[in-house]
Chains A and B, each alone.
Chain A
Amino acid sequence: SQTIHQWPATLVQPVGSPLSLECTVEGTSNPNLYWYRQAAGRGLQLLFYSVGIGQISSEVPQNLSASRPQDRQFILSSKKLLLSDSGFYLCAWSLWGQDEHYFGPGTRLTVT
């Protein structure tokens, strides 16, 4: 069966510091991968999605970036965090040709 991992689970970072969040999927090959952000009391905002290694599409302009160095690894990064980057970051995967997404446990980021 498939499993998705995210780490860290929680993170408190000062404004202007860098960020690296990691997501890995087990038990499947060539998944579509997604990064979402959920601000407090808000809906899910799609940030990036990837259909393969090195293929990243950005949904919204911001100071975040994503990379997919391996088939089942997806990384979200920032060089300098803003207060507005605080939120619940969710990684998700889906199979090609199937629409349902499966979410990881999430990383709660607080920028102070």
Chain B
Amino acid sequence: QKEVEQNSGPLSVPEGAIASLNCTYSDRGSQSFFWYRQYSGKSPELIMFIYSNGDKEDGRFTAQLNKASQYVSLLIRDSQPSDSATYLCAVPNQGGKLIFGQGTELSVKP
């Protein structure tokens, strides 16, 4: 059974700082990884995906994948209060399904 682990937080960072969110996964054969953002009371929104080792940047967001160590990270530069949300890491499972971590709650303080 594949597993995805995240620290539940809350992770608190000051406005303008870098927020670092981490996720580890159990299946060494996993090939793609997804980050979702979920604001309180709202549905998850896909914000990043990464397939290859290394970094992938999209605006203030950078996803980092290290397959040898089986972890994937999401960095948020210049954090804003509007980034306060729960961030979910997900890994594909067979049959088109995704396995989600429990999510890390991020709080950006003004």
| Measured CA separation A32–B88 after assembly (Å) | 21
Interface string of B69-110 (1 = CB under 8 A from A): 000000000000000000010101001111011110000000
Does B49 reach chain A (CB closer than 8 Å)? yes
In the bound complex, do residue A101 and residue B98 qualify as a contact, i.e. CB atoms below 8 Å apart? yes
In the assembled complex, how far is the CB of residue B44 from the closest CB belonging to chain A, in whole angstroms? 5
Q: In the complex, which residues of chain A have a beta carbon less than 8 angstroms from the beta carbon of B34?
A: 99-101
Q: In the complex, which residues of chain B have a beta carbon less than 8 angstroms from the beta carbon of A49?
A: 95-97
Interface size of B as a range? 20 to 34
Partner of B44, one of A42, A44, A96: A44
| Measured CA separation A90–B42 after assembly (Å) | 10
Partner of A46, one of B88, B97, B101: B97
Does A51 reach chain B (CB closer than 8 Å)? yes
B:15-74 near A, CB below 8 Å: 32, 34, 41-46, 49
| Measured CA separation A32–B98 after assembly (Å) | 12
| Measured CA separation A90–B98 after assembly (Å) | 14
Chain B residues close to A by CB (< 8 Å) = 32, 34, 41-46, 49, 88, 90, 92, 95-98, 100-103
Chain A residues close to B by CB (< 8 Å) = 32, 34, 42-44, 46, 49, 51, 57, 90, 94, 96, 99-106, 108
